[in-house]
Chain A
Amino acid sequence: MATPLRLAALLLVLVAAFASAARADLVVSRADRKVDLTSHIVRVLTSLKVENAGSEPVSKVLLAFPNIQAKNLAAIRAFGTEGKVKGLSSVLPIEVVEPSGVPPELTFFSASLHKPLQKGKILHLDVLTVFTHFLQPFPEEITQADSQLVVFQDSSHYLSPYPVKVQTLSIRLPGGRVESYTKYGNTKLVDSELKYGPYEDVPPFSYNPIIVHFENNNPFAVAKELIREIEISHWGNVQITEHYNIVHGGARLKGEFSRLDYQSRPYARGVSSFRHLIARLPARAHSIYYRDEIGNISTSHLWSDSKKTQLEIEPRFPLFGGWQTTFTIGYGLPLQDFVFSADGKRFLNITFGSPMEEILIEKLIVKVVLPEGSKDIDVSAPFPTNQWQEVKYSHLDIAGRPVLVLEKPDVIPEHNLHFQVYYKFNNISLLIEPMMLITGFFLLFVACIAYMHTDMSISKNSPSYLAKLQWDEVQATVQQIQGIFHQCLAVHDKLETSLHDLSRTGDAKSCKAARKAADAQFKELAKELKPLLLSVQSSPQSYQIWPKLDDLVAKERELQDKLMARHATVVDSVEKKQRGQDIENRISSQQQKIAALRQEVESLLEYLSEI
């Protein structure tokens, strides 16, 4: 607090020295300053009426700020109109200048006029300055129940290198308690507006420090860092991902945090905290998400109409002074709203800053991820930024996507202007990735087909290969043999059925015919079987199977004989008109043998099929 006083003293000493250096032919005939202190971002609108009292035309107007203010200056903009009445104003370019012979405690900006101000003419100049970190919390640590008090320091006189004839200062406070303010002669506090002045005929560089100590419980939302990633996909989407690291920049919380107090009397206890932030997204934003590193955060609301989409997000916990949290929001935008083409080039036209309301971003990094294959990248931003390029690798990228990175400290809502990124991109590049996938799969399948159709064995006459070939042969033959045996079994079944028919109809003739047919079939099958058996026997690989096969053939032969015999017996006895009981007695012993044989044959067959 001592600094402005000392500064003022110093200034007065230096005024005389500078008075000659500065061209004192400009006179500010009226200066009205409006300071808005309702949020934590301080906005000062200075309306100046500048008169050229000298003889030379003037083309530059100097604006002076103390260094302590200048270092917190986030944005400055000047609009000027010439003439008695305010007409259409035009934006004036502003640059930092260092005129000779000025005190080092001051920083000068110069607004260049579009055309020099002639003698006696009047210029209306509106200067908007925005400061961050200007309001100092005092006390610096408060408890949960206290409300947040901040200190604002400035001069009641407009600090100018020119003499000021008439000037006023009005300060808009957020309402609520005003602890103290510096009182001069004509100082008034009406409602939440503090007024100084009017002061008349103030010499150049007069500094009259004032201090306002007041209550400000508006959210001091400060993003320590915000990384905005804008990814363009020419398939029709602009995906924006914003990683926030938010801290409550006001007075730090000391002592306990009691949820009870916070819940039962939220306005009395915990008034200095904030629990939600509002983001205004473009109208056609879609697929909006809000999460942090441990998953989705369910406390958010979304409203949308044709003009805008409003997203209200609530961090996981209310933020008190000094508390911080991180989260990520992301949304997609339709491509045609933001990417246009002109002169064979495409350009992205999108806002620079964060969509959050009244948030101060200490470090903003905007990354524009262009599609793979973009060339001739060029950017035009309305204010100076640090720029460099990176490469990002995503799925199926070969060369990587070019990333344009813009970095700017101290970004405020006033910086939420459009910037343009120009680049060249060929639509055919879009097809590279799908084609790559298609080719990849195609090659894979071709490789599979090739593999299935080629013989990969190293040597065609190695013993193991030959053995394998032989084994395959044996297996094939064994399968054929199996088929024959199954046929045999089927013939057996036929014989059985003929027997059943016999018992029902007593038609011995047809039964005999069936037997004959079966006999013929058996012979045929035996013929077929012979060469197969021989081939198996000759093969060296069949040593495992051969005994079984041999066994099988023998058993099957026996079974055939038994069956035939039984068949003959039954038919004979039927012809001799014997009683069923007798027939049964006669064949019962055979019956058991047949069943046993059949079982053996089947188990052998099964064994073969398992091989």
Chain B
Amino acid sequence: MAAAILAMVPSYISRSVAGSYDNEAVAIFALVFTFYLYVKTLNTGSLFYATLNALSYFYMVCSWGGYTFIINLIPMHVLLCIVTGRYSSRLYIAYAPLVILGTLLAALVPVVGFNAVLTSEHFASFLVFIILHVVAFVYYIKGLLTPRLFKMAMTLVITVGLAVCFAVVAILVALVASSPTKGWSGRSLSLLDPTYASKYIPIIASVSEHQPPTWPSYFMDINVLAFLVPAGIISCFLPLSDASSFMVLYLVTAVYFSGVMVRLMLVLAPAACILSGIALSSAFDVLTRSMKFQLSKLFDDGPAISGNGSPNGSSASTVNTSSSKNEKTEKSEAAPKEKQSKKNRRKDKEVTESVSVKPKKEKRLSVLPLEASIVSTLLLIALGGFYVVHCVWAAAEAYSAPSIVLTSRSREGLHVFDDFREAYAWLSHNTDVDDKVASWWDYGYQTTAMANRTVIVDNNTWNNTHIATVGTAMSSPEKAAWEIFDSLDVKYVLVVFGGLVGYPSDDINKFLWMVRIGGGEFPHIKEPDYLRDGQYRVDAQATPTMLNCLMYKLCYYRFVETDGKGFDRVRGYEIGKKHFKLTHFEEVFTTHHWMVRIYKLKPQKNRIRGKLKKLKSSSKTSSTLAAGRKKNPWQ
């Protein structure tokens, strides 16, 4: 059931569009598989599964940075089990190999390396590992010694153990506290403290996937599962076993993390799917059982009444056996035993308490009326159908359209905005193979793949300095930007501009992040210079720094001539500086809807610099500069 739901969940489809897939799609499989093996080990206590578990953890570490989620969630669950007194040798077998093998294997992955033992993300697992050993030791001794001796040993061990523990913890705390980020990597910290990223690491916060999600996005991504999950939690609690407590813990943490970052909705999706699968299957279980019970009763009653009125006892007994048979078949389906025994105990009590009214009462207890069960089965099926419809819709509408081809519906039909590919095709066919293209990092991979050109920064955000350099160039005035780009050997600069057609995720809207990221590395870029009274705007109220920066100029170059006013459809107002000329850049290509504009760096003017300076001193406007250049015969 859960698998069927998971197969369609929109948030998962979003990661694998049209057959291609993201590393997260692989990672979620690894994540769920690791959890599955962990639970499996917990249930069977088999060392074989424990080893597999460590291997799948290694797979997860290889595929995604989210592996820290596993290495924190499983210790949490182990701790929970110990605290609630559910310690068993199976728990030990499930956990100890995972920590040892998993950490060793994780250290093999280049990106992780010694972080697997050095950073705070992993400390929790080691701490729990130690606690687990202490507990295991205590149990072992308990088995060896008589109760009295055990008590004595216990006090001894506890005093010594606590002392050692405190010493170790104190050392760790001291070590951790000495490092500036307290040993946590920025990404994890931004999860624990939602305001952390916006304060310290603008590059993480700048990605829209790292923003907190909105309620519609929850509904969009998990749809009816959101209603089924609470039911799933309840049915997990009814027979609270190790596995189901793990599920609940998983769900709760996943909900928290998805609340911090949209992207982690991905982690929530499998949890929600599994829990709603549990909810649905137990609901169907109850309903179909009651239906079967009722139907068999109907069939049995029929002949009993039409027959010679044989004693009620026979029919009642058949009913009873059939019900007990039902329960037995269920039992073989590995339904948790507590549930069963509880029911039995209750039934037995019933027998003794009210022998006379017993058959009726039993019916009322575990069996719903026939009509109600049929109706609710149909309703559940309808709910499932609604979910399928929604998933198909989401896959078709929201995720099947590639993000580089935009469409809009108008009265004449579908209108396609294929500007990105237009620009990339132009770059790939009409520029030199060795030319380098500078753009904001969002378009890095696309440019590399589609235009086959070297880019300065791309979606790999490990190197913050490069991104900051490009951000600085974009937020500098033209001349300074030209120098930066020239030093990077850049030939073309690509900006995305949505002001003409109203494409909101363009570079002007991302510009503040460029300023912040650039300012993080190069302190001469200050965010307040670009804000008027704390507000980000590009209209007449905007600051001169803003209106003179390269990004503004490249985006709005000759924009005013389109409608005479320079009305920006994304921002919804007229731009601040309307008429200006570019001195160090020239427009070489602009796509059909102006969404991508490509500029070329003008070559350096060595010989005429003197002349230019003279001109500059005589009149400082750029228009005469351009005129002067036109007259120049060498140009």
List chain A positions with a Cβ less than 8 A from chain B: 255-260, 264, 292, 294-295, 297-299, 316-317, 322-326, 486, 489-490, 493-494, 496-501, 503-505, 510, 580, 584, 587-588, 591, 594-595, 598-599, 602-603, 606, 609-610
Contact = CB atoms under 8 A, between A and B. Distances in A.
State the 3 A-B residue pairs at the shortest beta-carbon distance, nearest first.
A503-B355, A259-B590, A501-B313
Contacts of B316: 497, 500-501
B356 A292 contact: no
A514 to B, nearest CB: 10
B418 interface: yes
Given A259-B590, A606-B337, A324 B313 contact: no
Contact of B594 (A257, A259, A322, A504): A259
Given A317-B591, A598-B344, A588 B352 contact: yes
A316 B421 contact: yes
Given A256-B588, A259-B591, A326-B429, 15 more contacts: A256-B586, A260-B561, A294-B450, A298-B405, A497-B313, A500-B351, A587-B352, A594-B348, A595-B344, A595-B348, A602-B340, A602-B341, A606-B337, A609-B332, A610-B334
Contact of B558 (A260, A510, A587): A260
A584 B416 CA distance: 82
A273 B424 CA distance: 19
A316 B430 CA distance: 12
A292 B341 contact: no
Interface residues of B, number: 47
Contacts of A260: 558, 561-562, 590
Contact of B358 (A317, A500, A584, A587): A500
Given A256-B588, A294-B424, A316-B422, A603 B324 contact: no
B26 to A, nearest CB: 24
A595 B425 contact: no
Contact of B341 (A497, A510, A599): A599
A601 to B, nearest CB: 11
B407 to A, nearest CB: 9
B425 A486 contact: no
Nearest to A596: B345
B592 interface: yes
Given A256-B587, A326-B429, A497-B316, A295 B558 contact: no
B588 A500 contact: no
Nearest to B589: A257
Interface in B327-343: 328, 331-332, 334, 337, 340-341
A499 B594 contact: no
Given A317-B425, A317-B426, A486-B328, A257 B590 contact: yes
Contacts of B416: 298
Contacts of B311: 501, 505
Contacts of B340: 602
A323 B430 contact: yes
Interface string B346-370: 0010011001101100000000000
A494 B322 CA distance: 12
Contacts of B312: 504
Interface in B411-463: 416, 418, 421-422, 424-426, 429-430, 450
Given A325-B425, A493-B320, A599 B344 contact: yes
Contact of B331 (A323, A325, A591, A606): A606
Nearest to B562: A260
A486 B356 CA distance: 27
A500 B359 contact: yes
A257 B587 contact: yes
B588 to A, nearest CB: 6
20 contacts: A255-B586, A256-B586, A256-B588, A259-B592, A260-B561, A295-B421, A298-B405, A316-B418, A496-B320, A497-B313, A497-B316, A500-B316, A505-B311, A505-B313, A591-B352, A595-B345, A602-B344, A603-B337, A606-B331, A610-B334
A298 B414 CA distance: 11
B337 to A, nearest CB: 6
A325 B423 CA distance: 12
Contact of A499 (B344, B355, B587): B355
B317 interface: yes
B561 A317 contact: no
Contacts of A259: 589-592, 594, 597
Nearest to B587: A256
B344 A584 contact: no
Contacts of B426: 316-317, 323, 325
B87 to A, nearest CB: 20
Contacts of B594: 259
Given A493-B320, A602-B340, A294 B421 contact: yes
A149 B332 CA distance: 89
Contact of B324 (A295, A490, A499, A587): A490
A80 B43 CA distance: 97
Contacts of A489: 324
B586 A580 contact: no
Contacts of A594: 348
B321 interface: yes
Interface in B285-344: 311-313, 316-317, 320-321, 324, 328, 331-332, 334, 337, 340-341, 344
Contacts of B430: 322-324
Nearest to A323: B430
B586 to A, nearest CB: 5
Given A486-B328, A493-B324, A323 B358 contact: no
Interface in B571-595: 586-592, 594
Given A500-B316, A503-B355, A594-B348, A258 B558 contact: yes
A334 B348 CA distance: 79
A599 B405 CA distance: 64
Given A298-B416, A317-B425, A500 B352 contact: no
Contact of A496 (B331, B332, B351): B351
Contacts of B418: 297-299, 316
B352 A584 contact: yes
A606 B339 CA distance: 13
A493 B362 CA distance: 15
A258 B590 CA distance: 7
Best-surrounded residue of B312, B331, B558, B590 (most CB of chain A within 10 A) = B590
A580 to B, nearest CB: 7
A599 B345 contact: yes
